[in-house]
Amino acid sequence: MSNPEELRERILQSTYDCIARWGSKRTSIEDAAREAGVSRATIYRYFPGGREELLNAVVSWEYGRFFERLYEQVSTATTLEEVLERGLPFAHRAIEHHEVLQMVLRTEPELLEPTFSAVTSTTNELVAAFLTPYLEHHELAEGVVVAEAADYLARMVLSYMSSPGRWDLDDAEQVATLVRAELLGGIVPR
């Protein structure tokens, strides 16, 4: 028998696989249990709120996995510019090519709303906290407050990940211009 955390992970992965196959509206507790090789009672033991709690947990789980992969992409960067220039294209591609996310956004965006609303503030804080040491070691324009700059950058980066506007985040030159001219334009001296 799996330990409780491994079993929970298996249930989440199995439910994710069902959603990828059929969509969340057509994924039932029975489907998730069958896919995970467990009983319905086991699903309810881990997710007593039933299907809604399970689906929200899957969204949160995948959200966490996304940020783990993003961290792996930028963790060896030595400069603020490098973090942003690596992170933005990776995150944008991951979102754009995430089949399940794109399917849910097209067919059931309401599924994502409760989870995204709950994690948006926390995500912004975590990204700002990650960027803070880079800002502390960077020459900043006169009057720039590190905490305010970190909050601003976190909000902008999270926004550009999913909606790059006129910027082609697959073009390294455009990403460098976006980072240096727009994101860092008022933060670092020119």
Summarised one tens digit per residue, pLDDT across range 129-151 is 999 999 999 999 999 999 999 99
| Measured distance CA(122)–CA(132) in Å, rounded | 15
Write out the residue limits of the CATH 1.10.10.60 domain(s) in the chain.
Answer: 1-48
Q: Are 58 and 83 in contact (CB under 8 A)?
A: no
The arithmetic mean of pLDDT across residues 19-35, rounded, is 91
Portions of the chain given CATH number 1.10.357: 56-183
Distance, CA of 54 to CA of 124 (rounded, Å): 24
pTM: 0.80
Task: Quote the tokens at residue 78.
Answer: 């030595």
Residue-level pLDDT at 167: 94
Residues 6+ apart with CB under 8 A from 61: 12, 16
Residue from 83, 81, 14, 76 nearest 42 by CA:
14
Which of 24-38, 84-98, 146-160 is predicted with the least confidence, judged by mean pLDDT?
Answer: 84-98
Structure tokens at 133: 């040491």
| Structural contact between residues 88 and 160, judged by C-beta atoms closer than 8 angstroms | yes
Question: What's the CATH number of domain 1-48, 3.40.50.2300, 3.90.1170.50, 1.10.10.60, 2.30.30.240?
Answer: 1.10.10.60
Q: Please report which confidence band the pLDDT of residue 62 belongs to, taking 50, 70 and 90 as the band edges.
A: confident
Mean pLDDT within 62-83: 92
Q: Match domain 56-183 to its CATH number in 1.10.287, 1.10.150, 3.30.110, 1.10.357.
A: 1.10.357
Residue 121 tokens, joined: 């503030």
Q: Are 15 and 58 within 8 A, CB to CB?
A: yes
Residue listed under structure tokens 């509206």: 25
4-22 and 99-107 helices cross at what angle (nearest 10)?
60
Measured CA to CA, the distance from residue 60 to residue 54 in angstroms comes to 10
Stated as kind and residue range, the H or E segment containing 162 is helix 146-162
